[in-house]
Amino acid sequence: MKTIRRYDDLGKSDFGWLDSRHTFSFGGYRDPQWMGFGPLRVINNDRVEGGAGFSPHSHANMEIISYVMDGGLAHGDSLGTKSVIPAGNVQLMSAGSGITHSEYNASEDAPVHFYQIWVMPDVTNEKPEYQEMKLDHIDTKNKLAPVITPEGTPGTLKIKQDARMLLGRFDAGEIIQLPATTGRKAWVQVTRGSVVIDGETLREGDGLGLADEGLQQASAGQDAEIIVFDMAA
């Protein structure tokens, strides 16, 4: 099964300081057909104006990933963490039994663009944790490389779910080998450029859900960056 989610069809929240596009139901946007995909519950494509952000708020029993595309995201939480996440870094916050955090644009002038992604954990009420990682040690050139894994293998962040986040950056025309999803699910999010699969072009901001498919092959229509979640069904 293949399910395409076009950027132009996403839910939208526009508060002036925040332009957020929702792949799945979130906040004031509700669509019973788009409540998540496997354990993947939220993909928000967020742009926050300079000097603005999300004041302290709480979460529990959710794995929350922030991947910064442009600018810097200032993070603070009830664990005492204070960090500015620059473009190209990834953060994983395991909310566990409960955590309070804030997220602000680290710049007073330039916007910050980031993806916030929520994954439902397979354990609940555990001790909250914070992890962050640069990606410059990971070879993503024309291949999908693991960034987040359930094992927390060296060079990856550890998530409390049977889910892997893979990142790849492909030159135009390069072949992309997507994971098989027999008995599993996968989500492909195009973060830059475009990719082509089964004659369908997916552009920046588009997503594709795969379930119960064999090995899938795509190609980069333009220079492209994609995130792939390979996860339990």
Query: CA 59 to CA 94: how far, in whole Å?
Result: 9
- Would you state the pLDDT for residue 213? 87
10-133 folds as Jelly Rolls (2.60.120)
Alpha helical stretches, state H, the chain: none
- Measured between alpha carbons, how far is residue 186 from residues 39, 139, 166, 197, 228 in Å? 10, 21, 10, 14, 7
Domain ranges across the chain: 10-133, 144-232
| Per-residue pLDDT reduced to its tens digit, 32-49 | 999 999 999 999 999 999
- Would you state the pLDDT for residue 205? 98
Q: How far from chain centre, in Å, is Cα 202?
A: 17
Are the C-beta atoms of residues 161 and 181 closer than 8 Å to each other?
no
Give the count of beta carbons closer than 10 Å to the beta carbon of residue 76.
15
- Would you state the pLDDT for residue 78? 98
Q: Which residues of the chain have pLDDT under 50?
A: none
Please indicate whether the domains covering 10-133 and 144-232 agree at the CATH topology level: yes
Among 3.20.20.60, 2.60.120.10, 3.30.750.24, 3.90.550.10, name the CATH number for the domain at 144-232: 2.60.120.10
- Would you state the pLDDT for residue 216? 86
